[in-house]
Chains A and B, each alone.
Chain A
Amino acid sequence: MDYIASMQTSRVISDDGLRATPTGYRIDVRLPWYRSLPISTVEVGEVSIDGRVIDPSRVKFELEGRSYPLTDMADQVDTVWFVLDSAFLDVETPEPPAAGEHDVSVTLNLYPPYIRGLKRISRDRKTMRAA
Chain B
Amino acid sequence: MNITANDSGTRGLKLGTTLYALTNEYLSRRYSFEDLLAQTAARGTGPGLEIVGFQSIRGFPVVTDEFAGRFKELVARHKLVPTSLAINADQEIRRGRVMSDDEMVAYHEPQIRAAAKLGFPVARYQYGAGPDVIRRLAPLAEQLNVKLGLEIHAPQHANHPDVIRYREMYAKVRSPYLGWIPDFSSTAKTVPPSFLEFFRAKGVPESLISMAMEIWHGDGDAQTRMMQYKERARGSGADELQLNELSLIFPMFGKQDPRSWLELMPEVVHIHGKFFGFDAAGNEEAIDYAALLPLFRDGGFSGYMSSEWEGHMYSDADAFEMIEKHQAMCRRILAAKPT
Q: A2-B245, A82-B58 are in contact. Are A7 and B24 (CB under 8 A)?
A: yes
Q: In the complex, A62 Cα to B18 Cα: how many Å?
A: 31
With an 8 A cutoff between CB atoms, is A38 at the interface? Answer: yes
Q: In the complex, A8 Cα to B248 Cα: how many Å?
A: 19
Minimal Cβ-Cβ distance residue in A for B32: A84
With an 8 A cutoff between CB atoms, is B328 at the interface? Answer: no
The answer to whether A9 touches B245 (Cβ under 8 A) is: no
Q: A2-B241, A82-B58, A83-B27 are in contact. Are A7 and B89 (CB under 8 A)?
A: no
With an 8 A cutoff between CB atoms, is B175 at the interface? Answer: no
Q: In angstroms, how far is the closest chain B Cβ from the Cβ of A122?
A: 13
A contact patch SS: loop
Minimal Cβ-Cβ distance residue in A for B88: A114
Q: In the complex, A9 Cα to B92 Cα: how many Å?
A: 21
Q: In angstroms, how far is the closest chain B Cβ from the Cβ of A120?
A: 11
Q: In the complex, A4 Cα to B312 Cα: how many Å?
A: 12
Minimal Cβ-Cβ distance residue in B for A119: B95
Which B residues between 17 and 39 are near A, CB-CB below 8 angstroms? 20, 23-24, 26-29
With an 8 A cutoff between CB atoms, is B98 at the interface? Answer: yes
Which residues in B have their C-beta under 8 angstroms from that of A74? 94-95
The answer to whether B93 touches A84 (Cβ under 8 A) is: no
Size of interface on A: residues with Cβ below 8 Å to B? 27
Q: A6-B313, A8-B28, A9-B27 are in contact. Are A34 and B92 (CB under 8 A)?
A: no
Q: A7-B24, A35-B54 are in contact. Are A113 and B90 (CB under 8 A)?
A: yes
With an 8 A cutoff between CB atoms, is B223 at the interface? Answer: no
With an 8 A cutoff between CB atoms, is A131 at the interface? Answer: no
Which residues in B have their C-beta under 8 angstroms from that of A11? 27
Total A-B pairs, Cβ < 8 A: 87
Q: Of B23, B29, B128, which contacts A116 at CB under 8 A?
A: B128
With an 8 A cutoff between CB atoms, is A68 at the interface? Answer: no
The answer to whether B54 touches A36 (Cβ under 8 A) is: yes
With an 8 A cutoff between CB atoms, is A99 at the interface? Answer: no
Q: In angstroms, how far is the closest chain A Cβ from the Cβ of B11?
A: 33
Q: In the complex, A40 Cα to B92 Cα: how many Å?
A: 10
Which B residues between 90 and 119 are near A, CB-CB below 8 angstroms? 90-95, 98
Which A residues between 82 and 110 are near B, CB-CB below 8 angstroms? 82-84
The answer to whether A40 touches B93 (Cβ under 8 A) is: yes
With an 8 A cutoff between CB atoms, is B316 at the interface? Answer: yes
Q: In angstroms, how far is the closest chain B Cβ from the Cβ of A96?
A: 32
Which residues in A have their C-beta under 8 angstroms from that of B128? 114, 116
Q: In angstroms, how far is the closest chain A Cβ from the Cβ of B111?
A: 12
Q: Of A4, A9, A37, A40, which contacts B23 at CB under 8 A?
A: A9
Q: Convert B216-237 into 0s and 1s, putting 1 for each residue whose CB lies closer than 8 angstroms to a CB of A.
A: 0000000000000000000000
Which residues in B have their C-beta under 8 angstroms from that of A37? 54
With an 8 A cutoff between CB atoms, is A77 at the interface? Answer: yes
With an 8 A cutoff between CB atoms, is B244 at the interface? Answer: yes
Which residues in B have their C-beta under 8 angstroms from that of A113? 88, 90-93
The answer to whether A30 touches B89 (Cβ under 8 A) is: no
The answer to whether B98 touches A84 (Cβ under 8 A) is: no
Q: In the complex, A3 Cα to B244 Cα: how many Å?
A: 8
With an 8 A cutoff between CB atoms, is B52 at the interface? Answer: yes
Q: In the complex, A38 Cα to B61 Cα: how many Å?
A: 13
Q: In the complex, A85 Cα to B114 Cα: how many Å?
A: 22
Q: In the complex, A7 Cα to B20 Cα: how many Å?
A: 14
Which 4 A-B pairs have CB atoms at the shortest separation, nearest pair first?
A113-B90, A8-B27, A35-B54, A35-B55
Besides A2-B241, A4-B314, A34-B20, 17 new A-B residue pairs in contact (Cβ under 8 A), listed by A number: A6-B312, A7-B314, A8-B27, A8-B316, A34-B27, A35-B52, A35-B88, A36-B58, A37-B54, A38-B90, A38-B93, A41-B95, A74-B94, A74-B95, A83-B27, A113-B88, A113-B92
5 contacts between A and B (CB under 8 A): A3-B248, A7-B315, A36-B55, A83-B54, A84-B27
